Structure 1
């Protein structure tokens, strides 16, 4: 595609360079630039793409998209200067990849908790009904036999459009996308036609980025903003009637609104909810029909996730029978209330809960199994410091014993993070339940050994869930909570057997 054709509808502040090169690729990482690349000089949180303009040209970039002048004297690369580089990057990506959302129905899911499980449920329901669907989110990108890990929950706009073009070319009918607040704030989904938008819930998270809960909520609401998906008509909005923020989500939209919930009046409701030894059982009441569901997942939060997915599926024309059958076969998502089974007589649960509301719901659900509970909890570095004492207090309140440990400290001192957490234990009764073990592997081993000696305990390991690495000062080491737990269980059992002999 010629550069002139690609940028013809883009309001340029300034255009420099005498050439009109063929553009073979769009990149925002200078290391990936090559012959014919349009390199986008995106200012980031930790670095600035403008600093790598000359490097990108040296690698073959034919053109640069910038917000301010760059020094590439002596080269013939074209330079396009704009005032809002992220929005323009998104629009160029749409044009370059042929606007794949004209060919796909995009279902976006946003909210503090439940996005990953809900997107996977929606995809499972659609595919069970014979409707091919791809997925983009925290666990990566998947469609058919294509799978790829991603650095962010919602990829940058260029990658997002590339993935959707791949899905459309391979015959997908839907793209189900997790929409994070940061991605919506940065405009990564600008230009995507949203066929259906789902809101799960809103609680404290990411205040290190958004500063206030209102700013955080406003970013979530962008998923429902008609003006950000021109040409798509009005998206269908599926919102949680029991969450007060639902009104804000649809305030800026003229969408058709479908409400789901348990406590308040809703278009899709769960009734007769009960916990079983295999998960949750309930009936879904929608329109003039009620149908029973057996969900092989635990917790009220998963009832809400199933309601959100079912409301979307019903709107897409799936029958109650299709939904009932599909939900009964949904086995969950890696790192979300994942049971670790290594031959031990006690429960071990790994979960991604990394904010106060998520941790509270996790521990409340684990409590329903009966017996005693020991939790392993940490807080990530370089993130919202205010939630650290809150999470520690919740861990102590809902556990019989709790171990505070290192999560992903990034650039922070792990001891400082743990000290921030411990400040949340403002009562002696809470402090008596807690112990600090900075080494995460040792913390997990301590919890498991406690349960080995007293199998009435269940062990909950919170914070990292599906993650397979631990990050510290820009480097990482392999660390998968579920794998570490399984290895430790087997080691403890072997050591105990050797002592008995």
Structure 2
């Protein structure tokens, strides 16, 4: 592609070289550079791409796009200066892949909790309506039925635009995507325009990255500035703020949903059952196989978005009934001949833990046993709150390790325990031993919830990532018990 075409929409200054060049590919990782590529120097949190510009040139890069002046002796190399490298990367990536989002209807979902479930519900409903759908999210990415592995909730802009292009080539009409605060703040989705943006809720998370709650909120709000229509949970305290801030933008369609406050889509006659939920919205009956009040909220946001997109209610009703979300209130106990149940859930924030425990509490005919920890190298303030919430709602809690990363696991555990005032807990560093203890102590009618890992099949330790699938671990423990 011609360099000038690639740079369309980018504000840049030529520091060296000329613009009459053919570009093979775009890279921001110098290790991937091949002859004729353009290298974008990104300033990261641990690595500065500017330090690898010379490596990129040695590997064949013909153009360097940077945020600060660099010294490259090779006069055949063009050097371009931009103010914001990540925005520039997003623009040139869209140019390179021929603006695929203009050929897709994007639906973005943001919030602390509920993003994953919401996009799976949307995909299910749209497919029931006969649409081909792409999905971008935490668990995996999908192009129709084809599953692709996912490393980030929202990929970097270069990979994201490539994924959009593949969706277009495969005939997708819609793309539903979890739109994380990181992706919005780091301009991974810069330039993307959304048909609908959905706000689920906002509670404490990711403050290790955003530093303040206002920064966290402002990052999330970027989605709604880029959405033609906004669907907002008005029961959430920050939902009112989103609503007011979207109003200020003018010429935006806004729809609200709720369980408690008055809204455009308010759930009435809610019946929470062991295996599903039933409720009525604006005269129509809906039910979902996903239990718990928080899943009523997830369903409401989806119903409102689908109405905006003119999806018929029959497809919405069918889609809600046919959604399975891996690692979200995933019941695995029924597979075994045991007198208690085991549930795996991704809940890793205080609010998420509260939701899953409150949902499962009525189903525990005896005790509710919770096993969980908190991620290392992440927001430390929420750890004590996780300790408090778990011990107040569960009958017994086993505090353990969960992706400790570079921190000492017991140091993280001590910070969780610091928030506990009750005595109904024990701390066990080894997560396998913690799960084994929960299963060994379980009695008839108990419900064990393994929280924090959900769909993840790994643990991130000081020395790197290891395989760790809680479904496999439960299998092994129960096999050993039968011997």
* Aligned residues of 2:258 and 2:266 also touching (Cα < 8 A): yes
Runs of 4 or more, structure 1, over 4 Å off, are none
Matched, 1:336 2:320: no
The correspondence of residues 333-372 of structure 1 with structure 2, limited to 5 A, is 333-341=325-333, 342-343=335-336, 344-370=338-364, 371-372=366-367
Between 96-105 and 249-258, report the one with greater CA deviation: 249-258
1:295 to 266, 288, 291: 288
Corresponding residue for residue 205 of structure 1: 205
Query: Structure 2 vs 1, CA of residues 214 and 316 (structure 1 numbering), >3 Å: closer, same or farther?
Result: same
8 Å CA contact 1:340–1:485 kept in 2: the answer is: no
| 1:172 aligned partner | 172
Are the aligned partners of 2:110 and 2:198 in contact in 1 as well (CA < 8 Å)? yes
1:146 & 1:485 partners in 2: Cα distance? 28
User: What is the aligned-residue RMSD (CA, Å)?
Assistant: 1.5
For 1:188 and 1:389, how far apart are their aligned partners in 2?
Answer: 32
DSSP 3-state at the match of 1:368: helix
Please report the TM-score for the alignment, with normalisation by the length of structure 2.
0.95
Structure 1 length-normalised TM: 0.92
Conservation of the 8 A alpha-carbon contact between 1:19 and 1:76: no
| Equivalence for 2:371 | 376
Instruction: Describe the shift of the 1:9–1:214 C-alpha distance in structure 2 as closer, same or farther (beyond 3 A).
Output: closer
- The 1:151/1:457 distance shift into structure 2, 3 A limit, reads same
* 1:101 and 1:192 in contact (8 A); partners too: yes
Give the alignment of 1:45-444 within 5 angstroms.
45-74=45-74, 76-226=76-226, 235-250=228-243, 251-252=245-246, 253-254=249-250, 255-285=252-282, 290-330=283-323, 332-341=324-333, 342-343=335-336, 344-370=338-364, 371-425=366-420, 427=421, 430=422, 432-444=423-435
C-alpha displacement of 1:148: 1.9
Shift of 1:372: 0.6
- CA displacement at 1:7 relative to structure 2: 1.4
Gaps of 5+ in 1: 227-233, 496-501
Checking the alignment, whether the CA contact within 8 Å between 1:469 and 1:476 is kept in structure 2 is: yes
The answer to whether the 8 A contact 1:221-1:248 is kept is no
Give the aligned partner of residue 463 of structure 1. 452
Deviation at 1:153, TM superposition (A): 0.5
Report SS of the residue matched to 2:353: helix
SS of 2:465's equivalent in the other structure is strand
Q: Give the equivalent residue in structure 2 for 1:3.
A: 3
Instruction: Give the unaligned 5+ runs of structure 2.
Output: none
Number of aligned residue pairs: give it: 476
Indicate if the aligned counterparts of 1:296 and 1:329 stay in contact, CA closer than 8 A: yes
Q: CA deviation at 1:258?
A: 0.7
Q: Per the alignment, do residues 210 and 405 of structure 1 end up closer, same or farther by CA in structure 2, a change over 3 Å counting?
A: same
How far apart, in 1, do the equivalents of 2:204 and 2:273 lie? 30
